[in-house]
Structure 1
Amino acid sequence: METHSDEKSYECKQCGKMFTFSSSLKRHLQRHSEKKPYECKECGKAFKFPSYLECHMRTHTGETPLECKQCGKTFSWPMSLKTHMETHLRPHSGAKPYECKECGKAFNVRAHLRKHMRMHTRGAYECKECGKAFSSSTYLQEHMRMHTGEPYECKECGKTLCSPAYLREHMRIHTGEKPYECKYCTRTFTFHSSFKTHEKMHTGEKPYKCKQCGKAFTCVSRLYRHKETHSEQKPYECKHCGKGFRCPKYFRQHVSMHSGEKPL
């Protein structure tokens, strides 16, 4: 009978969201939990829901059973297909209804906005060992492998990386692979982030704007570094000499001068 009613009588005490069914509330509560009981036997990555693990396994098998009816492109994850379908809704209008409240950048797909917002909250999970901050607990856990002695090591040069994905990306340095080509000058790039930043030099796009002084930047990392110049706080202190730093990157570089190690 609850399916015939619009009443939502089950409330989440943590975020206030309401649900029609108790089973829906129970499933929602798992999102607030840090427990991830469903683990991939191939790579060790863990998930909160069995459906997420099932979709993840397709990344190992290469299976892409979800097909876009408009263009035939296939996907492994339902959310990836849903995000892709939004690109068909606004292909030529240029409408970008999803705007970031932090920096004003707009997106035509809601999922892209959610992914972007993690850049603003990346400092929520901070490594107590070196001060580096991450947008999710998963990324922090992978990073901690560097400190606990469980990293992924490159067989070519011995460099250690905190995740299999970073190791695969790093291997392009040795293979010479540059899969990203600029359509404006045909220059090629090893890393996607470098490629996207380079393209903005051609377009003049600077979507990340400082609210305090109005200065704009091509990538969000430069905006973050710039914002620290407005702050007098120096939360990262060197244990060797007591010098303080606003930015974790400069802090790590400084510490490496004492240890003699090359910073990651």
Structure 2
Amino acid sequence: MDAMTFNDVHVDFTSEEWALLDRSQKGLYKDVMLETYWNLTAIGYSLEDHNIEEHFQSSRRHGRPERSHTEEKPYEDMKCGEAFAHRSSLRAHERTHTGEKPYGCNQCDKAFAYHSSLRIHERTHTGDKLYKCIQCGKAFSDQNTLQRHKRTHSEEKLYECNQCGKAFACHNILQNHERTHTGKKTYKCNKCDKAFTQRYYVRIHKRTHTGEKPYKCNQCGKSFACLSSLRVHERTHTREKPYKCNQCSKDFASQSHLKRHERIHTGEKPYECNQCGKAFSIQDTLRVHERTHTGEKPFECNQCGKTFKLHSQLRIHKRVHTGEKPHECDQCGKTFACPSSFQKHKRIHSGEKPYGCNQCDKAFAYHSSLRIHERTHTGEKPFKCNQCGKIFSQPNSLRIHKRTHTGEKPYECNQCGKAFPYDSSLRVHERTHTGVKPYECNQCGKAFGYHSHLQRHERTHTGQKPY
């Protein structure tokens, strides 16, 4: 391998920045750099720098002989013949053959071949970011990510796609991009056989099986399976919306939400169902649609075994068991388990009727109410009684009608026990106990318990004889 200088594998702090670090941070920085140095030499890099002795003067105290200056390499790997100056470097190198990963994370089940790799991984839990970009001040948890980030300033994009010409700063990002042309999904989940274009997505997907959520919000304690989801969530506390649409100036908390929104302007629908050809602007919507063909319901309730197409449906369903109703109306205090039910309820207070009939000027608070109303124009009656063939425009009307066949009387008077097939019939009957007479003649003021009785009475004023 080509020789590298020490400055290629470490980040210089300015004297002011170094002064701001406490003793533990300085010690951690030195430890990490020392580990990086020895591990790079273990896998064959030659680090040449006249300042290495100054940076690593503490290595003598730990008993490492100064063979890096003499180029003496007495420790040889019997498998590949590579030689090393230190026994520890040979041992670290041997793991490339054995696959041994002796350094395990005590917060999750991940393991690593090198202690430095473990230290870098642990920062995903602690949030430590030691490597700082000297141009923009952005900090990173590992050196490689910093080096990739630096290319955003230099605009160095060495890796070009040979199909569309798009260039990328990192080779692995190019590889991921190329799969958008091939559709190749090389990384498969070993539990459900679901395939992905990137290894990273498999790791995140596996957490849907394990339930692991390693990323925790330090403000509300909510946990997430994916770091990017935590970052987006944190903006619900800060109200930060850094991504702006350049067509309508609407702001968004995440870049993915902005991209999705932009398709409203462009009309782009890049995700197509390979069974029916239907296209979608959002990939998640395509995945949900595909389940209409496969019948797949991957989300199962661990209490009753009921399965769902969407994880959000499972989450809402679980509230049936827990009794949780997190959505509370601030006007009447009524609570709801389902956000859509809550949104519908709010229209009772606001009077909002967003669903307008395009044949008359009538408007409705609910889409289902609009659909039922439209049948008064079309004459459509899609609900048929399977016993007598009578048809109805509403499912509720069919349900009530079926009681004429079954004799079912679900509405019972709690005073005399008499039962009725309809709720309205029970309400009329209850007036025989309460004496309530809600129907009043507007000519003489006489009141009646039933609307039919009022109609009969009104004929004494009008002289009408309809029969």
Range into which the TM-score falls when normalised by the shorter chain? 0.5 to 0.7
Q: Does 193-202 or 107-116 show the bigger shift? A: 107-116
Indicate the residue corresponding to 1:107 in structure 2. 194
Identity %: 38
Residue correspondence of structure 1 range 77-92 to structure 2 within 5 A? 78=172
CA distance in 1: counterparts of 2:123 and 2:103, whole angstroms = 15
Indicate the residue corresponding to 1:200 in structure 2. 291
Unaligned runs of 5+ in 2: 1-86, 162-166, 351-467
CA RMSD of aligned residues (A): 5.0
Indicate the residue corresponding to 2:205 in structure 1. 116
Indicate the residue corresponding to 1:141 in structure 2. 231
Secondary structure class of the residue paired with 2:323: coil
Q: TM-score, normalised by structure 1?
A: 0.62
Amino acid at match of 2:205: H
Q: TM-score, normalised by structure 2?
A: 0.39
Question: Residue 28 in 1 paired to residue 121 in 2?
Answer: yes
Distance 1:223 1:56, change over 3 A: farther
Asked if the contact 1:144–1:162 (Cα under 8 Å) also holds between the matched residues in 2, the reply is: no
Indicate the residue corresponding to 1:98 in structure 2. 190
What is the CA distance between 1:170 and its match in structure 2?
Answer: 0.7
Asked if the contact 1:240–1:258 (Cα under 8 Å) also holds between the matched residues in 2, the reply is: no
Unaligned runs of 5+ in 1: 68-73, 91-95, 100-104
User: Matched residue pairs, number?
Assistant: 241
CA distance in 2: counterparts of 1:224 and 1:244, whole angstroms = 17
What is the CA distance between 1:159 and its match in structure 2?
Answer: 3.6
CA distance in 1: counterparts of 2:249 and 2:276, whole angstroms = 34
Distance 1:43 1:133, change over 3 A: farther
Distance 1:230 1:189, change over 3 A: same
Residue correspondence of structure 1 range 1-264 to structure 2 within 5 A? 1-5=87-91, 14=107, 21-36=114-129, 47-55=140-148, 63=157, 65=159, 76=170, 78=172, 98-99=190-191, 105-107=192-194, 111-119=200-208, 120=211, 125=216, 134-136=224-226, 138-145=228-235, 148-151=238-241, 152-235=243-326, 237=328, 241-246=332-337, 249=339, 253=343
Asked if the contact 2:130–2:140 (Cα under 8 Å) also holds between the matched residues in 1, the reply is: yes
Asked if the contact 1:236–1:251 (Cα under 8 Å) also holds between the matched residues in 2, the reply is: no
What is the CA distance between 1:200 and its match in structure 2?
Answer: 1.6
Q: Does 180-189 or 3-12 show the bigger shift? A: 3-12
Q: Output one character per residue of 1:213-242: Cα deviation in whole Å (capped at 9) or x when no partner.
A: 222222323222222322223355556654
CA distance in 2: counterparts of 1:170 and 1:118, whole angstroms = 28
Distance 1:198 1:88, change over 3 A: closer
Q: Does 5-14 or 234-243 show the bigger shift? A: 5-14
Highest CA radius of gyration, 1 or 2? 2
What is the CA distance between 1:167 and its match in structure 2?
Answer: 0.7
Asked if the contact 1:179–1:189 (Cα under 8 Å) also holds between the matched residues in 2, the reply is: yes
Amino acid at match of 1:31: T
Secondary structure class of the residue paired with 1:206: coil
Amino acid at match of 1:98: N
Asked if the contact 1:125–1:134 (Cα under 8 Å) also holds between the matched residues in 2, the reply is: yes
Q: Output one character per residue of 1:68-106: Cα deviation in whole Å (capped at 9) or x when no partner.
A: xxxxxx994649969x8xx7879xxxxx6622xxxxx44
What is the CA distance between 1:179 and its match in structure 2?
Answer: 0.9
Secondary structure class of the residue paired with 1:224: helix
CA distance in 1: counterparts of 2:327 and 2:261, whole angstroms = 28
What is the CA distance between 1:185 and its match in structure 2?
Answer: 1.5
Asked if the contact 2:125–2:215 (Cα under 8 Å) also holds between the matched residues in 1, the reply is: no
Asked if the contact 2:185–2:195 (Cα under 8 Å) also holds between the matched residues in 1, the reply is: no
What is the CA distance between 1:176 and its match in structure 2?
Answer: 0.7
Amino acid at match of 2:124: R
CA distance in 2: counterparts of 1:112 and 1:157, whole angstroms = 32
Distance 1:123 1:112, change over 3 A: closer
Q: Output one character per residue of 1:135-184: Cα deviation in whole Å (capped at 9) or x when no partner.
A: 44543433444554531343444543102231122110111111111122
What is the CA distance between 1:191 and its match in structure 2?
Answer: 0.7
Secondary structure class of the residue paired with 2:302: coil
Q: Specify which structure has the bigger relative contact order, considering alpha-carbon pairs within 8 angstroms and separated by 6 or more residues.
A: 1
Asked if the contact 1:208–1:219 (Cα under 8 Å) also holds between the matched residues in 2, the reply is: yes
Distance 1:159 1:11, change over 3 A: closer
Amino acid at match of 2:296: E
Amino acid at match of 1:116: H
Asked if the contact 1:180–1:191 (Cα under 8 Å) also holds between the matched residues in 2, the reply is: yes
What is the CA distance between 1:51 and its match in structure 2?
Answer: 1.6
